[in-house]
Amino acid sequence: MTKTDPAGIITYANETFLRMSALAEDEAVGAPHNLIRHPDMPRGVYRLMWETIRSGQELFAYVVNLAADGAHYWVLAHVTPSYDAAGRLVGYHSNRRAPRRDAVARAEELYGRMRAAEAGQAHGRAAVDASVRALDDALAASGQTYDELVWAITNEATA
């Protein structure tokens, strides 16, 4: 579990997160959350994440992260905005759970398509746009939102 400020700077990381990420607390806290970004993660997923949480909604997403020792680990992340008593945004929370292996296989397949779309573009905004288009195409083909796809993957998966 982690908490961030509104800009995505880590303000709290629990023991499990630190162990999985092979980070000391003072390496994680104060650092931007892309500290553990894995190069296999399509950029479009993070655009969707930020658009969703900035609009005040929560998001479930499959994410592969890179630990400081070079290991990688998949999670099903649940990212939510947090507000103070006056209703002002104070940051975001991310709770992560271990996904099932066949759910990861489905996410890898989708993310592979998104990465392929990015690879055909120059870096920057065009790559993110292509990534989001590939995601939208996949979702249109299955008639699902990303949220519905995540839940279908999660519930269809058999251990």
The residues binding ligand FMN (CB under 6 A) are: 2, 4, 8, 33-34, 36-37, 41, 43, 46, 63, 65, 79, 92, 94
What's the closest the beta carbon of residue 97 comes to ligand FMN, in angstroms?
12
For ligand FMN, which is the closer residue by CB, 8 or 143?
A: 8
What's the closest the beta carbon of residue 56 comes to ligand FMN, in angstroms?
13
Yes or no: say if 54 and 144 are a contact pair by the CB < 8 Å rule. no
Q: Which helix (H) or strand (E) holds 3?
A: strand 2-4
Q: Which helix (H) or strand (E) holds 126?
A: helix 125-142
CA 70 to CA 54: how far, in whole Å? 31
CA 2 to CA 32: how far, in whole Å? 12
Q: Which residue is nearest to ligand FMN (CB)?
A: 34
For ligand FMN, which is the closer residue by CB, 8 or 14?
A: 8
Yes or no: say if 64 and 38 are a contact pair by the CB < 8 Å rule. yes
For ligand FMN, which is the closer residue by CB, 90 or 139?
A: 90
What's the closest the beta carbon of residue 101 comes to ligand FMN, in angstroms?
19
CA 154 to CA 152: how far, in whole Å? 5
What's the closest the beta carbon of residue 154 comes to ligand FMN, in angstroms?
18
In terms of Cβ atoms closer than 10 Å to its own Cβ (0-12, 13-18, 19+), residue 59 is: buried
What's the closest the beta carbon of residue 15 comes to ligand FMN, in angstroms?
16
For ligand FMN, which is the closer residue by CB, 4 or 135?
A: 4
For ligand FMN, which is the closer residue by CB, 58 or 156?
A: 58
